[in-house]
Chains A and B, each alone.
Chain A
Amino acid sequence: MTKGRLVTTSKQTAPFGRAAAALCVAALLCAASSADAETVKIGVAKSTTAAPVYVAVAKGFFAAEGIDPQVVFFEAAQPVAVAVVSGDIDVGVTGFTGGFYALAGQGALKIIGAHSREVPGFHGLGYFVSEKAAAAGLKTVKDIPGHSVAFTTVGSAFHYSLALAAEKYGFDMQTVHLEPLQSNPNAASAVAGGSVDIAMVPSTSGLPVVQRGQAKVLAWVGDETTWQLGATFISAKTADTRGDMVKRFMNAYRKGARLYHDAVTGPDELPKNGPQTAEMIAIIAKAIGQTDAEVSTALAYADPDERVDVKDILHQIAWYRAQGMVKGEFNPEDMIDKRYMIPYPQK
């Protein structure tokens, strides 16, 4: 589950197999492709979080590496992982899900790079509090115990973010009433109507409710708990047989990430509005079919080198396992392919 727009519920009805490919909307972003370029299908969820991909495509970084990139949009993160396993997609760039770890744990997926991170200042995922609960004194994340929290699904990025907050503030997750409502609009609707005290949704779903005066921003996940939202990943087979392509892909992808990072992030690693910001917003808006204004409120952070926070990933897997959401014995380190990735420096 990535931040951004998850506008469908169809992922629940066809959650595995090649059927997932039927959910895709193929979009050829790069019209000019040289005849001998190697075609690489890149699966992303339709959101701002895959910004470096769009930038690298628009700037011709992939073409320069002899790659003809075909960006395939999915309505949610999980089907991308399934499509990479089935071979319908070469490279996936999406958020982590319980399903992702289940597939990776069976050795089917290899992590080769990062995806967006939740960091301070960037408003990706948020805690939105109902007017009623806010009036009754629900002011900070610390006050969440005893309240009801709506989000998409058990095992989603929201669920994990809340667990991180529970660790940080030392409250028991058992004291929180979790209400999985399957989609972001459902969760936003529940908080707007006051059926739940808090909705954890992406800014794109939550801010309209705030603008209508039906909810308030309680906190942003990035300000509360920093963590790596997802990964760039390939199938184990691709990792072993198409190493040259993967390396060229990562070169181009990192160029896009660097350009995007420097355009929207200041030296303090906080959002900035620089001379190139508008161009980045325009590229993203065109790629995902939203207005510039919509994109500008939902810009995601990208690591300039797409470095992988291994320790964070191990922490995530430990949590999923403790919840019984990822089963089976496997070594989490095996799902990260060190041939291609750059590790994130640990403090």
Chain B
Amino acid sequence: MTEITAGGASVRREVAFRGGGFIAMPKPAYSWIAFAGIIALWQLAISAGWIDPVFLPSPASIVEALWQLTVSGDLWKHLSISLARIGSGWLIGSGLGLIVGVSMGLTSAGRAIGMPLVSAIYPVPKIALLPLLILWLGIGETPKVVTIASGVFFPTVIATLAGVDSVPRNLIAMAQSFNLPTRSIVWKVLLPSALPGILAGFRISVSTALLLVVAAEMIGAQYGIGAFLLTAGNLMQSDDLMAGVVILSILGLGFGAGLTALERVLLRWR
């Protein structure tokens, strides 16, 4: 930009920088500092008596509860039982969800039958159905696994269907132009192409499985993280309750990290 001065000579001015911002930069240190800061403030608030520990147990007492759980061996007992339920429920739910999602994505009949059913059944709160579930399946492991599987099934169907729908049609046309058999098109083109969508669905369904372990263990469970949480809540043992929440959070972080690693391997091509 120039300005004409009275003498006719131009004045040179530096252009000021006005861009930047609006871009997320990775700052991992900030996360840790904020996390530590919140914990410290929390502990301080209770130690100083600003918050009644009746309402919010202190981080120290939660750590103490976690420690007690670990040394007594109960943690492993609760974890192993819950993980078995989450694992089998998730495998069954997502396996069926994949099959149904792909069938709905591939066939018009499947879509016509499946779409309204999924829309109608997905939003039904599973907990409201517990009395019926108990009537049908009893109180053993079956209703617990079914509760988790049914919660996992629907997000998987929806993610798989969206994944199949997002497969570029030109890839299908390419495969057909080389006379690839239908089975090969499904396995070699459709499924790998839908994989990013399916993995994104897994992220949701794994969280759902963790959420539902509490609901599942409402049904006659003596052991399991969900049963432990419920008992602690019923007895107002808020340090144990928060310890259970911490365990669930750590599980959620662990599963999330596992999926990220899986994506890094399977989706290297992106």
Contact = CB atoms under 8 A, between A and B. Distances in A.
Q: Do chains A and B touch in the complex (CB under 8 A)?
A: yes
Interface of A: 9, 11-12, 15-18, 78, 81-82, 85-86, 97-100, 102-103, 106, 108, 150, 153-156, 178-183, 185-186, 188-190, 192-193, 195-196, 325-327
Contacts of B230: 12, 153, 180, 182
23 contacts: A11-B234, A12-B218, A12-B233, A16-B54, A16-B236, A78-B234, A98-B236, A99-B233, A99-B235, A103-B236, A108-B52, A153-B234, A154-B235, A180-B231, A181-B134, A181-B220, A182-B130, A182-B230, A183-B218, A186-B131, A188-B131, A189-B132, A196-B139
Q: Which one of A15, A18, A325 has the greatest number of beta carbons of chain B within 10 Å?
A: A15
B220 to A, nearest CB: 4
A186 B130 contact: yes
The 6 A-B residue pairs with the shortest CB-CB distance in the complex, in nearest-first order: A99-B236, A98-B235, A189-B131, A195-B138, A179-B220, A15-B233
A64 B214 CA distance: 48
Given A16-B54, A182-B219, A188-B131, 14 more contacts: A17-B56, A98-B234, A153-B231, A154-B235, A179-B139, A180-B227, A181-B130, A181-B218, A181-B220, A182-B230, A185-B131, A186-B218, A189-B132, A190-B220
B241 interface: yes
B127 A180 contact: no
Contacts of B233: 11-12, 15, 99
Interface string B37-71: 00000000000000010111000000000000000
B235 A155 contact: yes
Nearest to A19: B55
Nearest to B131: A189
Contacts of B56: 17
Contacts of B227: 180
B82 interface: no
A153 B127 CA distance: 16
B236 A189 contact: no
Interface centre among B55, B136, B139, B233 (most CB of A within 10 A): B139
A155 B218 contact: no
Given A102-B237, A153-B230, A325-B235, A9 B131 contact: no
B241 A108 contact: no
A190 B218 CA distance: 13
B131 A97 contact: no
Contacts of A189: 130-132, 134-135
Contacts of A9: 127, 130, 218
Interface of B: 52, 54-56, 127, 130-132, 134-136, 138-140, 214, 218-222, 227, 229-231, 233-238, 241
A190 B132 CA distance: 9
B139 A150 contact: yes
B157 to A, nearest CB: 26
Contacts of A106: 54
Contacts of A196: 139, 220
B168 to A, nearest CB: 43
Contacts of B241: 15-16
A155 B130 CA distance: 21
A155 B136 contact: no
Contacts of A188: 131
A99 B54 CA distance: 11
Contact of A12 (B134, B221, B234): B234
A155 to B, nearest CB: 5
B134 A195 contact: yes
Contacts of A82: 236
Contacts of A81: 236
Contacts of A15: 233-234, 236, 238, 241
B132, B134, B221, B237 pick with most chain A CB within 10 angstroms = B134
B44 to A, nearest CB: 19
Contacts of B52: 108
A112 to B, nearest CB: 19
Contacts of A86: 55
A193 B218 contact: no
Contacts of A85: 54-55
Contact of B234 (A18, A97, A150, A327): A97
B139 to A, nearest CB: 5
A228 B214 CA distance: 32
A103 B54 contact: yes
Nearest to A153: B234
A195 B136 CA distance: 9
B220 A102 contact: no
A78 B140 CA distance: 28
A237 to B, nearest CB: 11
Contacts of A193: 134-136, 138
A140 B18 CA distance: 85
A182 B139 CA distance: 12
A103 B52 CA distance: 12
